[in-house]
Amino acid sequence: MSPKQHRGEVTSDLLLDAALRVYAEAGEQGLTVSAVTRASGVSLGSLYHHFGSIDGLVNALLTRWLGRLLGELADAVGQSRDARTGVRALVRAYLGFVQEHPDVSRLLHSSRADRVGMEQGRELRDVQEARMPPLTSWAVRHVERGEIAPLPPALLESLLLGPVVGVSRRWLTVGDVDLDEAARVLPERIWRSIGADGA
């Protein structure tokens, strides 16, 4: 998959990379068709050939990066022994990703993501469905062992990720949070909320 990539794949990548670059520099508003073609050197026709629309391009970008994020989260819980260290690993992996890829995270969290996800989102949902199972089964396993409280999945997910997402959004927009401190403090706090009662 390296020396003789089909040229289409190459231009797709050129476009995806350029789109992220443009978004990082010019933000939501600046992410236009012409900005991307200019930044990538790829023609308008190619963009539409590969992605069908500007939202299609954004969607592909989101899909790519959401996959990576979820993959990292799955790895994090996969390598942890008990539920408690799993929570810590998960929170730190998430915050680490945000810190390492702030532009991507901004795109993933805010704005265009929801809309594109809603309207275009076949692929996006596929990625979620492909990458979530490790996380879900991790949770189920520990609920069964009596380590995590038996809550409805949606509530469990919100308790687990809600605060982390909240802190991330805040760091990405306002900036008045210390992510390292959050990584230190949040896990134990979150653990209290979802840990089984007999702790």
Partner DNA sequence: CCTTTTCTAGAATAATTTTCTAGAACTTAC
Partner DNA sequence: GTAAGTTCTAGAAAATTATTCTAGAAAAGG
Sites of contact with DNA (CB under 7 A): 4, 6-11, 31-34, 42-46, 48-50, 52-55
Q: How many residues does the chain have?
A: 199
| Residue 53 interface partner, choices a second copy, DNA, none, CB cut-off 5-8 Å depending on type | DNA
Residue 118 tokens, joined: 């809603």
Nearest distance from C-beta of residue 43 to a second copy, angstroms: 26
Nearest distance from C-beta of residue 29 to a second copy, angstroms: 7
| Residue 5 interface partner, choices a second copy, DNA, none, CB cut-off 5-8 Å depending on type | none
| Residue 154 interface partner, choices a second copy, DNA, none, CB cut-off 5-8 Å depending on type | a second copy
| Residue 108 interface partner, choices a second copy, DNA, none, CB cut-off 5-8 Å depending on type | none
User: Of 172, 153, 164, 170, nearest to 189 (Cα)?
Assistant: 164
* Nearer of residues 14 and 19 to a second copy, judged by Cβ: 19
* Cβ within 8 Å of residue 60, ≥6 positions away: 12, 16, 51, 123
* Nearer of residues 12 and 168 to DNA, judged by Cβ: 12
Nearest distance from C-beta of residue 35 to DNA, angstroms: 7
Nearest distance from C-beta of residue 161 to DNA, angstroms: 31
